Structure 1
Amino acid sequence: MSSVLPAAVLFDMDGTLVDTEQLWWDAVEDVAGRVGYALGPTDTADVVGHAIEHTATYLHAVVPEGPCVHELSDALDAAFTDRVRGRIEPLPGVVALLDALAEAEVPLAIVSASPRHVVDLVRDALGSARFAVTVAAEDVARTKPDPAPYLAAATALGVEPSACVAVEDTVVGVTSAESAGCAVVAVRTTASIPAAPGRRVVASLAAVVVGDLHPAVLARA
């Protein structure tokens, strides 16, 4: 592999590769409504980018007289999976970038806070052969914003996190990737993420080419 390429590119899934972040919000809004809670903008920090268990715990805290965390988790999982199945749409620029990275022989991974069965649905829709590794919520003891998911992906690929580029779309995900030592391309699809050393912010992956994806290049961003 050329020294001007990253050792690997580690992609977040929801809202980065595929247009599922709104489906997740809709699922949470549905489940919250069933327990008498109207989801709104002030809930964003505990919904967007988080694993099901985190959001279930949050909903239980705001509606303590409602179902237990386990029941809320099951309801969120079912509502989200139903919405994702059959509605997987790659976001602009994703397929072209994945194809270009494959041509350059850069290893790819999906690193997600979604459950394994949802990650597998998306992986298969995009082409399972594209991704050498996938990390789902169940694969780590602590998920995003903890660095564990990105560290697990780098370990599975046999590369150093500092030689990898993560592609994310939420503050939670950016925190996870940067805490692991990855350079980051942040896609501004669901949250306002500022540029920073080692981080490039783009409106769409259609604006990204393979040559942009090197930690040394991003360090100058």
Structure 2
Amino acid sequence: MSSEALGAVLFDMDGTLVDTEDLWWEACAEVAVGLGSALGPEDRQALFGLPVEDAASHVSGRIPGSPGPAAVAALLTTAFTAKIENGVTTLPGAVALLEALRAAGIPAGLVSASPRPVVDLVLETVGGDRFRLSVAAGDSERNKPAPDPYLAAARRLGVDPASCVAIEDSPTGIASAAGAGCAVLAVGLGGTAPEGVAAVSSLENVDLALLRLLVTRAT
């Protein structure tokens, strides 16, 4: 496979394209307090990068007499959506990289573990026209860390997952992308990126040459 054979670039959303990790934590903490229990620093780490259904199971397990994961998931989605509606910040380098991909004719896809209402709100900020498709929670049989969301994105784009680079910021997302057979680039994880996974501190450090190199190395 040549260094030009980059089929698509698949982006995680929260913490990768937009600065929403603090908003997610605030939503989780507020829901827990509303149900009669407080979360601690160890919970913040545990909730990092989790899909809403897994986060709901975690929060529910911390609350005596919890209404159950399904009810907590609905509360989390509502709380997070409300915070997103107030606006989100696009992370440095995101728009420039998306524009470079568009200019080169390389498809970009959004692959998120967040619910569809949240994804659609964020797309209004980042620019939905910059993406060929988006995959949200519920658009595939299983959510991250299963490979299903990335496999669904590659299938819908008509490309081999091995020709795709997935850009992720959490172990959960990295496991999903790697399981699908994508080359993976970790952003913002510093020294905590899994062994063997290429890492950068910011999307400002990513260009097409690097993305093509990652696909070549993976194959």
TM over 0.5: yes
**Share of identical aligned residues, percent?**
47
Structure 2 vs 1, CA of residues 160 and 51 (structure 1 numbering), >3 Å: closer, same or farther?
same
CA–CA distance in structure 1, aligned partners of residues 215 and 126 of structure 2: 29
Q: Structure 1 pair 193/44, CA: closer, same or farther in 2 (3 Å)?
A: farther
1:7 is matched with which residue? 7
Native 8 Å contact 2:190 2:199 kept in 1:
no
User: Measured at CA, do residues 61 and 191 of structure 1 come closer, stay the same or move farther in structure 2, by a change above 3 Å?
Assistant: farther
Q: CA deviation at 1:115?
A: 0.4
- State the match for 1:98 in structure 2: 98
The match for 2:208 is 210
Change (3 A) 1:111 1:191: farther
Q: Tell me the secondary structure at the aligned position of residue 166 of structure 2.
A: strand
Q: Is the 8 A contact 1:188 1:204 kept in 2?
A: yes
The corresponding residue for 1:200 is 198
Corresponding residue number in structure 2 for 1:39: 39
User: Structure 2 regions of 5+ residues with no counterpart?
Assistant: none
**Superposition TM-score, scaled by structure 2 size:** 0.92
Can you list the C-alpha shifts for 1:116-157, whole angstroms capped at 9, x where unaligned?
A: 111111112211111111000010121000000000000000
Distance in 2 of aligned mates of 1:91 and 1:184 = 19
Displacement of 1:59 in angstroms is 1.5
TM-score, normalized by length of structure 1?
0.91
Aligned counterpart, 1:162: 162
Kindly state the Cα deviation for residue 4 of structure 1 after the two structures are TM-superposed.
Answer: 1.7
- How many angstroms does 1:193 deviate by? 1.4
Aligned partners of 1:206, 1:152: CA distance in 2, in Å?
27
Q: Deviations over 1:92-113 (max 9, x none)?
A: 1101111111111100100000
